A and B are shown apart, each in its own frame.
Chain A
């Protein structure tokens, strides 16, 4: 995380996931669902920089991504946990920086992130937060997903996002790993 603050490139790159989430390039999507840009940014960072830095980077990117979406549902907890976990993996098993492993890890990360969102949407529905007009803004209710909605749309979004994230990771994450490794070497 120190590197994130000391290096302008690291700090600037933190803006890339929310900007790409907003831009949502349609040619990088499956069935209209884009990749999880937070996962694609966090994975190489955590693998190179370790668990603590990974968790803090997950916190930072989670805060930015949560700001883009209204409501109570948050990507932050899973991104922090993923950052910590990937940091541990990077320390112990350097072979995880290979392209195929990066793809699998990113796909798994997107899957866990999507599942956490589904669980939060389901809990919001179970708690009745999405009923009536008692929401936080202008009379709109909170976001909560009923079981039929999860079965209809949730699983489809989950599958599409995990797949596209896993497909893009070998290219994008490999480049980032190289970039962060080079930066780290220069720092030393």
Chain B
């Protein structure tokens, strides 16, 4: 039996009825492909008035801070215990805040004068830290003032290490705003952007204080490679510092 052609009117009605379904299926297909992102966003928009209040997020943040503090305390204790076992320097002692009352960051003597001295418990050789990192060492003392030799002063030599490669070196002040890091190893694998901290093996400074960032590396320097370090604490813009006591090191 042969079927005749469909009546024209009925074909059009089928098309008009199927079209919305096709569109709907396409949209649902897109939703499926986007893994419900649009729905999630829409739900987030609708449910915004019912979200947990700021108090709950503050509780969460404070509990995270507490957890971080506890973890930090635990790590410090572990660090101190391990360093004691290895007979290395202890980390920072008591920190004495001090104001910078005079600065000579670019002259013949590159130094700061602080308003705390030997009467406040400051000792020669104490490390001085500013916002950003190590600034220098106490070089001269009076009862009420301390002179700090900056890391940029040509007399300054600080043991440091590059955290990423664990390579140690000596940071030399050369009178300019960027000291030079001379490495111990011939091939330090250091590259610009590496962070420089005080060396855990140093007897002069507390370990792992931020010092600066490697700006450029000269692999051909003789006898070992050198790097120019951009200091993280700018001495000519610092008004307050912390003097880290050596007593507990």
Binding site for B on A (CB under 8 A): 21-24, 29, 31-34, 68-71, 73, 114, 117, 121, 130, 133, 135, 137-146, 148-149, 152-154, 157, 161
Q: Given A22-B113, A144-B154, does the pair A149, B147 have CB atoms closer than 8 Å? A: no
B155–A153 contact, CB under 8 A? no
Residues of A within 8 A of B140 (CB): 70, 137
Binding site for A on B (CB under 8 A): 101-109, 111, 113, 123-126, 137-140, 147, 149, 153-155, 157, 174-176, 203-204, 236
Within the complex, what minimum Cβ distance (angstroms) separates A77 from chain B?
15
B106–A32 contact, CB under 8 A? yes
A149–B139 contact, CB under 8 A? no
Residues of A within 8 A of B124 (CB): 137-138, 140
Q: How far is A161 from B106 in the complex, measured between Cα atoms in Å?
A: 11
A143–B176 contact, CB under 8 A? no
Q: Return the 5 tightest CB-CB contacts between A and B, nearest first.
A: A153-B175, A138-B125, A138-B124, A32-B106, A70-B140
Q: Given A140-B149, A143-B109, does the pair A149, B104 have CB atoms closer than 8 Å? A: no
B139–A152 contact, CB under 8 A? no
A157–B139 contact, CB under 8 A? no
Partner of A140, one of B108, B155, B203, B236: B155
B106–A33 contact, CB under 8 A? yes
A24–B174 contact, CB under 8 A? no
Q: List 19 interface pairs A-B (beta carbons < 8 Å), by A numbering.
A: A22-B101, A69-B108, A69-B111, A70-B147, A70-B149, A73-B108, A137-B125, A137-B139, A138-B124, A139-B125, A140-B155, A143-B109, A143-B153, A144-B155, A149-B174, A152-B174, A152-B176, A153-B174, A161-B107
